[in-house]
Amino acid sequence: IMAARCGRALSKVGWAFLDSPLSLRAGTGTRLAGNRAYGTGSSRGQAGLALSARTAATGGGLLGASARRRTRTVSHCEAVATASDGGALKLVLYQYKTCPFCSKVRAFLDYHGLPYEIVEVNPVMRKEIKWSTYRKVPILMVNSEVQLNDSSVIISSIKTRLIAKDKSMPEILNCYPALKSKNDSGKEVTEYMNKYWLMLSEADTLLWYPEKGMQKEEMKWRQWADDWLVHLISPNVYRTTAESLASFDYIVREGKFGSFEGFFAKYVGAAAMFLIAKRLKNRHNLQDDVRQDLYKAVNDWIAAIGKKRKFMGGDLPNLADLSVFGVLRVMEGLQAFDDMMNNTKVKYWYRRMQKATQNHEGRQGTEIK
């Protein structure tokens, strides 16, 4: 019986980490399950929404024609399409603390000073989200009615709501339909259309993106964080057996594991992820020394910001800044993070981002009411 439990647990832990990289350290964030807190660490619609949705459909990097033919559109919030979200929004985040996608969402909420509750999910059994047909994290519940899936959809839809306060969450979510399809391995996958777009009126778009190219630049680097940067984390934090064990020591300490699961994950899971990290290195065509890919990616990001800007958003962080910071933050306290800080030019930008999120510097004027 014990052997069978070990086998099942190893399979669940290893592949859960592969599907949603629980690689890492999420910094010094607040974790208060069931308590309201600022986490301090670490295409239907009215005229404006319809305009942005049409623009997104023509330039938002959607799936190609062949992919669209074999997909079916699914409402992002079928059960709550007519829900009302009048009044202040109550936000509950279901997460793995050490997941980079969850860290992205926390960085966004922290920066904007939005109070939210955290429910830490057990990564093996996932009982905390058994009510959801969507079985990944992060999940953000709004007013206990509207379920937001996918970190980039969560960020785009909440940011849209911060700006376009007259729009309801269900109305905004209609602009982010889900497309379900099967990948080359036959596994069903879900992708969300327009997820890097803010669904704003033309006037609001000009107000928030006054300079030519600002919006496209933000979207480009948000997608880069999801499609490239995040895939460099696991191979780097599980680069050696010692680093893998150190990563799992933190994961078990900060995550929601039972005593048996924690012991098993720390020692057997670390070995499994060391091997899986090698597969990821091959899958993403990384160099033998995966640190070099991490250094190059981070330096490319800093070069894109340039010497004249504090952030990619200028004097204030934009959504790309928050996404990249959220991904990198999960390595804090690990050897990969220290090496990155010592061998790239990211340090000063990273410290500015820490301060901006910890002090909720984007809070002014963004309260949802």
- Asked if 336 and 298 touch (Cβ cutoff 8 Å), the reply is no
85: DSSP letter: -
Q: Which residue among 94, 101, 108, 337 is the active-site one?
A: 101
Q: Point out the catalytic residue in the list 96, 192, 257, 295.
A: 96
2 vs 216: CA distance, rounded Å? 53
How many angstroms separate the CA atoms of 249 and 127, rounded?
22
Among 99, 192, 274, 337, the one annotated catalytic: 99
Active site residue 101: yes
When computed from its CA atoms, the radius of gyration of the chain, rounded to whole angstroms, is 20
Of 104, 15, 78, 63, residue with least CA distance to 353: 104
Eight-state DSSP code of residue 73: E
Question: Going edge to edge, which strands form the sheet with 146-149?
Answer: 117-120, 91-95, 139-142, 146-149
Task: Give φ, ψ of 44 to 5 degrees.
Answer: -100, 160
- Catalytic site residue 6? no
Could you tell me how many residues make up the chain? 369
Residue 221 one-letter amino acid = W
User: d(Cα 230, Cα 354) in Å, to the nearest integer?
Assistant: 19
Let me know if 99 is a catalytic residue.
Answer: yes
CB 209 within 8 A of CB 202: no
Classify residue 137 by burial, with Cβ atoms within 10 Å: 0-12, 13-18, 19+. buried
Report the alpha-carbon distance of residue 59 to residue 216 in Å, rounded: 9
Out of 77, 94, 102, 264, pick the active-site residue.
102
- Catalytic residue list: 96, 99, 101-102
